[in-house]
Amino acid sequence: MSSIIDIKFELESNKLDSIKADATIVIVKNKDLSHKWVTQEDELKVQGFEGSAEELCQIGNNIYVGVPCFDSDEIRLALCNALKKIKKSSYKTISIGSYSSKRELNISAIVEGAILGSYKFDKYFTKKSSINVEKIIISTEDYSDNKIDETKANEEIKFSFAVANATNMAKTIVNSTPNDVTPQRLAQLAKELTIDVPNTNCFIGDNEYLESENMNLFLAVNRASCHPAKLVHLSYTPKNPKKVITLVGKGLTYDSGGLNIKTGSYMSTMKADKGGACAVLGIFKAITELKLDVELHAVIGATENMVGGDAYKADDVIIARNKDSVEIQNTDAEGRLVLADCLSWAQDKIKSDYILDFATLTGACVVGLGEYTTGIMGNNSKLKHQIGANNSGELSSMLPFNKYLKKTLKSPVADICNISSSRYGGAITAGLFLDNFITDEYKDKWVHLDIAGPAFVERDWGYNQTGASGAGVRLVSYWINKLIKD
């Protein structure tokens, strides 16, 4: 399932105006039209271009785009908008200068903005289109006259190229339809990430394996589907890893809500309920391509949640893999059931320094944080902050656990209920439900990421297209990269 944007990025030590290219992108900071790279100030003023945020103007072969500052995400957005402006042109080579800020080199932002912004999901169209740009030449001449470290710049190009294309791969899988990407197909796509990749392995467990592991919550969700469930375990084991990290992803290739069936408007985008699994696959792809010194495990629970005579029901009590009894009060709170068994399995089978799970888990997270922000939860405030506070461009916010919301998960007939007795704080109570299946050994090593908001948005936003954004891939790839370098 190819989604690679194969633009080549080259670093060149010549000044911007001496680089031979079909067109040049000039980023204008905070309406500053007096900079030496703005060679057509009078023409720009005639066109009414001021250099405001996201303002664009093309004069000849120069594309001018405004930004308020040189923060990385503004640079990403500028590249995305500039390439949109010329996507129908015949330009094959583009030149651009360097735009360092006080904190960042921003070469990575140029690469990511170009690759993420050029993505188009046209898998099911007969006629496909692609951008003509083949190469972007980045001059080491800097807008602010800072000295550019070429070794670091080339490292940023390599890292960002891998991460951005892995993000686009995740987008494509999320965007793909449920009749195309079934649990079996999702498992196959995962396995393909290990073909001819050194130090990797793939294990796929079927329903019989799940039964042998007493993964009864996972199996209950799968019961009404004609497609068997799949437990996927990808591993990457380099020789001298600095850390061992396990990623667990919710892989609901379609979610009808089960017997608590969704209404039509809420069901129509449920192909995106595999967003957590796709984030895990994207991170695995990026880290293995970059050959980072981290042992990485990717665990995915792939299934559908469907309606049928054998569907699990509200009022059922099911024994989880960890032997806790779970009262079912809503069959549409199924993702946490799959994750509970997968998290239990991962803790028993893999000795990890960190465990992160990813899921399009709750509409409550979208209500609380909006469509564009990931909710980060767990017991370790320092770890949550480290994951959320990076320069990836993904928006995130921490949601706090508390003992009072935990009490709302009590059941009169079982150890725990799969939904809260309160209508409020639903994202946090879902996280607290998962916390019940985290052993004491891993309480401070585990983080839950609810990506229900940004994983799939039905409109363009920033440098993200309508549909999937690959939420989680850049956020955690940046964190892993920093973790092993510090």
Domain range list for the chain? 8-167, 181-485
Q: Phi then psi for 173, rounded to 5 degrees?
A: -70, -45
Q: Phi then psi for 95, rounded to 5 degrees?
A: -110, 150
Q: Which of 84, 135, 158, 262 is catalytic?
A: 262
Q: Confidence class of residue 101 from pLDDT cuts 50, 70 and 90?
A: confident
Task: Please determine, looking at this structure, whether the domain spanning 181-485 carries the CATH number 3.40.630.10.
Answer: yes
pLDDT tens for residues 139-148?
999 999 999 9
Using the structure block, give the residue that is written with the tokens 């922000």.
Answer: 373
In whole angstroms, give the CA distance from residue 394 to residue 475.
6
Determine the pLDDT at residue 5. 85
Q: Which tokens in the block code for residue 165?
A: 């294309």
pLDDT tens for residues 168-180?
999 999 999 999 9
Determine the pLDDT at residue 103. 77
Determine the pLDDT at residue 2. 54
Q: Which tokens in the block code for residue 218?
A: 């996972």
HSE-CB at 31 with a 13 A cutoff on CA atoms is 5
In whole angstroms, give the CA distance from residue 431 to residue 359.
10
Q: What is the average pLDDT across 333-347?
A: 98
User: What DSSP state is assigned to residue 300?
Assistant: E
Q: Confidence class of residue 342 from pLDDT cuts 50, 70 and 90?
A: very high
CATH of domain 8-167: 3.40.220.10
Q: 62 pLDDT exceeds 60?
A: yes
Residue 185: active-site member: no
Q: Which of 29, 171, 230, 336 is catalytic?
A: 336
Strand partners, 322: none
Q: Confidence class of residue 224 from pLDDT cuts 50, 70 and 90?
A: very high
Helix (H) or strand (E) holding 298: strand 295-305
pLDDT tens for residues 236-257?
999 999 999 999 999 999 999 9
Q: Confidence class of residue 299 from pLDDT cuts 50, 70 and 90?
A: very high
- Average pLDDT taken over every residue of the chain: 96
Q: 194 pLDDT exceeds 90?
A: yes
In whole angstroms, give the CA distance from residue 384 to residue 476.
11
Q: 200 pLDDT exceeds 90?
A: yes
Percent of the chain whose pLDDT exceeds 90? 95
- DSSP string computed for 4-52: ----EEEEE-S-GGGS--SEEEEEEETT-TTSTT---HHHHHHTT----
Q: Find the radius of gyration of the CA atoms of the chain.
A: 23
Determine the pLDDT at residue 130. 80
Helix (H, G, I), strand (E, B) or coil at 319: strand
Residue 262: active-site member: yes
